[in-house]
């Protein structure tokens, strides 16, 4: 359990199995599997890795009946809530709920008739699960496109507003909202407006944000800006990469904006003085630190000459020498370690702290 600092606008509490979002609850980290959902073994395996690294809510794509039926078995093997992601087919939404989905994500604009949407609402009410309604530039109805001359921020908000009204008129208030665009500043602006206008929790993220590098930069800018304004109740960093990277980046963004307590890893950029194979070591240390929630600063430095001194503000650190390294605390060298044992020794010391 990670401790997060929150001072956000009042939001309705929405319960997704064992995770509550909204009013002053920790900002939940989401990711989405990229396995075929009907491949239960692979899907569970991926979810477990994500869960162990800090994923709070997992979303799976429901593309056919087999996917929807698989939710039942997947659920038995994981502990975090599972969200069914459905496009176009209201029957798959209903089947997913009946098979245990803890929440569904639909885009009402592509579900078809209001009758079909009402059928989903009624089953969600019966099973008492929330629905995230999402709108993006591609799903805005013709009337709003014409009114605003394209899928502008106002067009998307009007579209979402019409869906919210339909849910509320049918006595359904168990909602999470999202509007995603590929334009960074539009995403910031639209979420500011949604945050003011509604008391439903917001799911924030960018759509099609790109690769690990570009997607991380864009998500840090957008989600960092919003979280600094205390906007957002659950986040997903979308990357064309391993979903685990989404969790790592999401945690860094939450930590950077003071919404999550996690270890801080510092490392030098390396230079001609670097005298050991530092990159695999720093990756290994980062991987380990992602599994713990101690509020400590850990340094991985390239050389013994300057490393401990440059990183003296770190609680603990390692610096490399030739085929060996040193372990230091607050800049003071504690011991010398053979290169092959350096990560193991560092982890041992951190465990004791
Ligand atoms: Fe170079 Fe050493 Fe500084 Fe790293 S710690 S940048 S290796 S001088």
Query: What is the pLDDT, as a whole number, of residue 7?
Result: 59
Cα distance between the two ends of the chain: 18
Whether the CB-CB separation of 177 and 133 falls below 8 Å is answered with yes
- For 41-99, how does the pLDDT look when each residue is reduced to its tens digit (9 = 90+)? 999 999 999 999 999 999 999 999 999 999 999 999 999 999 999 999 999 999 999 99
DSSP 198: -
Which of 266, 272, 273 most suits a substitution to test ligand 1, by most atoms within 8 Å of the C-beta? 273
Report the atom number in ligand 1 closest to the C-alpha of 319.
5
Residue 291 CB-half CA count within 13 A = 11
3-state secondary structure of 132: strand
* Ligand 1 lined by 272 (C-beta under 6 Å): no
Over residues 10-21, the pLDDT tens digits come to 899 999 999 999
301 CB within 6 A, ligand 1: yes
Mean pLDDT confidence for 190-211: 93
The tokens for 193 are 């407006």
Q: How many CB atoms lie within 10 A of CB 329?
A: 15
pLDDT at 207 over 90: no
Identify the residue whose C-alpha is closest to ligand 1 atom 6.
270
- Residue among 303, 300, 299 nearest 275 (CA): 303
pLDDT at 252: 94
d(Cα 60, Cα 99) in Å, to the nearest integer? 13
For the chain, percent of residues with pLDDT exceeding 90: 86
Angle at 313 between CA 325 and CA 339, to 5 degrees: 10
Nearest to 57 by CA among 233, 209, 294: 233
């Amino acid at each position: 359990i990670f401790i997060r600092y929150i001072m956000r606008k009042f939001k309705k509490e929405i319960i997704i199995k064992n995770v509550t979002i909204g009013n002053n609850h920790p900002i939940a980290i989401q990711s989405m599997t990229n396995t075929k959902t009907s491949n239960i073994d692979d899907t569970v395996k991926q979810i477990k890795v994500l869960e162990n690294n800090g994923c709070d809510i997992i979303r799976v794509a429901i593309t056919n009946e087999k996917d929807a039926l698989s939710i039942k078995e997947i659920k038995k093997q994981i502990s975090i809530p599972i969200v069914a992601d459905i496009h176009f087919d209201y029957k798959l939404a209903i089947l997913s709920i009946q098979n245990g989905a803890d929440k569904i994500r639909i885009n009402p604009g592509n579900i078809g008739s209001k009758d079909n949407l009402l059928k989903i609402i009624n089953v969600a009410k019966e099973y008492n699960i929330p629905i995230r309604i999402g709108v993006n530039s591609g799903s805005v109805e013709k009337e709003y496109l014409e009114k605003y001359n394209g899928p502008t921020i106002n067009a998307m908000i009007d579209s979402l507003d019409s869906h919210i009204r339909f849910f509320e008129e049918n006595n359904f208030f168990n909602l999470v909202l999202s509007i995603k665009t590929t334009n960074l500043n539009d995403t910031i602006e639209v979420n500011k407006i949604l945050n003011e206008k509604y008391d439903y929790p917001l799911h924030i993220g960018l759509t099609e944000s790109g690769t690990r590098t570009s997607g991380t930069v864009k998500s840090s800018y957008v989600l960092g800006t919003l979280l600094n304004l205390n906007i957002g109740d659950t986040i997903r960093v979308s990357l064309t990469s391993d979903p685990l990277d989404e969790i790592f980046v999401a945690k860094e963004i939450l930590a950077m904006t003071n919404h999550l307590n996690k270890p801080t890893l510092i490392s030098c950029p390396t230079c001609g003085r670097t005298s050991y194979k530092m990159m695999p070591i720093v990756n290994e240390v980062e991987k380990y630190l992602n599994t713990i929630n101690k509020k400590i600063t850990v340094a991985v430095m390239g050389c013994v000459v300057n490393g401990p001194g440059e990183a003296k503000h770190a609680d603990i650190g390692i610096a490399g020498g030739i085929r060996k390294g040193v372990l230091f605390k607050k800049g003071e060298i504690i011991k010398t370690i053979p290169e092959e044992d350096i990560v193991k020794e560092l982890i041992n010391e951190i465990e004791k702290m």
